[in-house]
Amino acid sequence: MARTQKNKATSGHLGLLKARLAKLRRELIEPKGGGGGSGEGFDVAKTGDARIGFVDKWCILSACVLCPFQLLDLPGIIEGAKDGKGRGKQVIAVARTCSLIYIVLDVLKPLQHKKLIEHELEGFGIRLNKQPPSIGFRKKEKGGVNLQTLVTQSELDLDLVKTILGEYKIHNADIVLREDSTAEDLIDVVEGNRVYIPCIYVLNKIDQISIEELDIIYKVPHCVPISAHHKWNFDDLLEKMWEYLALVRIYTKPKGQLPDYTAPVVLQQKKLTVEDFCNKLHRSIIKEFKYGLVWGSSVKHQPQKVGKDHVLADEDVVQIVKK
C-alpha cells in the first residue's frame, strides 16, 4: 500500500486493502473457534482509581507516582508484538485496559523506538491521544447505503464508503460524516473494537543533551523530558499525568485538624460536586450532610460554606459538616 500512488482512481483499491488488513488483524487478536485457550495469557485484577501502563523502564518512574493508582509494567514491546511475537498479544491486551500509557524513550534516539511501539499498539486497536471518529454508523435491513456529509470530505465519498462496507458484507447502512474523515476512521467505527487511550512520551536522559535541544523537545506534543538518574522534572510529569487522566485531587479536613494532603480523594472531572465527593468517601455520608466548608480555587472566600451541588476544583480542601 505504501508504494501505491494516492489519487481518485486508486482510493477504492486502497480502501478495500485497508479494510481487509483490519479484518485480518482482528482475526489475529480474536481467533475464531472455541476452547479455553492455551493458558498463556495473563491479566491483573483492576484496582485503584486508574490503571497506568509503563512501556519500558517503568521502575524509574513508578517511585514518583505516589497516588492511588494501579501501576502495570508492560514488558518491552518489540517488533511483531501485535502478531504474538514475544508474548506481545498478551502484553498489548493488558495495555488496552489502561487509563493512561507511559512510553519511556531514550532522548538520544527516540523516534525509531516511538514509531515501532506506536505501530504495534495501533495494530492491536489502540489509538493513542486520539478521539473516536465523529462518524454516525447505523446498520439497517434495507434501503442501501445512505451517506450524509456535514463537512467537505477530502477522501471519503459514497463509492469508497460502499467499497469498505462491502468488505464487511454490509449493504444497508446510514453513515453520517461530521468531520473530514479517512478510510481508517470509517474502518475503526465499523470494527467497533478500538480503544482510545491518552499517552505520555517520557524522554529520559535529558542530562545528556543541550539546553537548546531541551527547548525543542518541550515543544513536542504529549512529551515530558526527564532525567531519571537526577530525578529532574518529575513534578512536571506528575502534573501531566493528572491532566491526561482527567482526574482531580480533593483533600479532606477533619474538624479542628489540618488537611490531609497525603491521601487525596480522587474524582473524575465529570463528577466534581460535593455530593460526588461524599459518595466517594461513603454512600451514607450524603444522608447526614448539612453543608460543606471549602478552601481552594472553586470558592471566593476561604473557607466558604457550600451545598451538595457545589462544583469542586483540583486540590480543593473540603470539610463536611453533618446534621
**What's the one-letter identity of residue 100?**
L
Report the distance separating Cα 188 and Cα 168, nearest Å. 12
pTM equals: 0.81
* Residue at 273 is within a domain: yes
Domain count, the chain: 3
Element (H, E) at 203: strand 199-204
Element (H, E) at 196: strand 195-197
User: Mind listing the pLDDT tens digit for each residue in 258-317?
Assistant: 999 988 999 999 999 999 999 999 999 999 999 999 999 999 999 999 999 999 999 999
> Is residue 237 domain-shared with residue 265, that is, in the same domain?
no
Residue 108 has pLDDT above 50, yes or no: yes
DSSP secondary structure letter of residue 132: P
* Residue at 44 is within a domain: no
Whether the Cβ atoms of residue 117 and residue 105 lie closer than 8 Å to each other: no
Report the distance separating Cα 168 and Cα 260, nearest Å. 55
Residue 237 has pLDDT above 60, yes or no: yes
Q: How confident is the model at residue 40 (pLDDT cuts 50, 70, 90)?
A: very low
**Which among 193, 209, 228 is the end of a domain?**
193
Report the distance separating Cα 15 and Cα 20, nearest Å. 9
User: Mind listing the pLDDT tens digit for each residue in 87-97?
Assistant: 667 777 788 89
> Is residue 153 domain-shared with residue 72, that is, in the same domain?
no
Please give the span between the terminal C-alpha atoms of the chain, in angstroms, as a whole number.
69
Q: What CATH number is given to the structural domain containing 74?
A: 3.40.50.300
Q: How confident is the model at residue 42 (pLDDT cuts 50, 70, 90)?
A: low
Hey, which residues does 147 pair with through a beta bridge?
A: 175
**Which among 215, 245, 275 is the end of a domain?**
245
* Residue at 312 is within a domain: yes
Whether the Cβ atoms of residue 171 and residue 165 lie closer than 8 Å to each other: yes
* Residue at 283 is within a domain: yes
* Residue at 37 is within a domain: no
What is the predicted pLDDT for the residue at 36? Answer: 42
* Residue at 65 is within a domain: yes
> Is residue 186 domain-shared with residue 205, that is, in the same domain?
no
Report the distance separating Cα 146 and Cα 184, nearest Å. 19
Range of the domain at 161: 8-29+133-193
What is the predicted pLDDT for the residue at 318? Answer: 97
3-state SS, residue 103:
strand
Whether the Cβ atoms of residue 229 and residue 223 lie closer than 8 Å to each other: no
Residue 13 has pLDDT above 50, yes or no: yes
Element (H, E) at 3: none
Which of 129, 111, 90, 91 has its CA nearest to residue 240? 129
Could you please report the per-residue DSSP string of 33-60?
Answer: S-S---S--------SS-EEEEES-THH
Q: What CATH number is given to the structural domain containing 300?
A: 3.10.20.30
pLDDT: which is higher, 28 or 188 = 188
Lowest mean pLDDT among 54-63, 107-116, 159-168, 188-197: 54-63
What is the predicted pLDDT for the residue at 94? Answer: 84
DSSP secondary structure letter of residue 155: S
Residues 6+ apart with CB under 8 A from 65: 52, 71, 238, 241
Q: How confident is the model at residue 73 (pLDDT cuts 50, 70, 90)?
A: confident
> Is residue 112 domain-shared with residue 214, that is, in the same domain?
yes
> Is residue 201 domain-shared with residue 110, that is, in the same domain?
yes
- Burial bucket for residue 280 (CB in 10 Å: 0-12, 13-18, 19+): middle
Residue 201 has pLDDT above 90, yes or no: yes
What is the predicted pLDDT for the residue at 37? Answer: 43
Percent of the chain scoring above 70 in pLDDT: 84
Average pLDDT over residues 122-136: 93
* Residue at 1 is within a domain: no
Given the DSSP bridges, would you call strands 247-252 and 316-322 parallel, antiparallel or unpaired? Answer: parallel
- Assess whether the previous peptide bond of 303 is cis (omega < 30° from 0): yes
Residue 31 has pLDDT above 60, yes or no: no
Q: How confident is the model at residue 34 (pLDDT cuts 50, 70, 90)?
A: very low
Hey, which residues does 293 pair with through a beta bridge?
A: 305, 319
Residue that is written with C-alpha cell 483533600 in the block: 251
pLDDT: which is higher, 18 or 289 = 289
Q: Across the chain, what does the average pLDDT equal?
A: 85
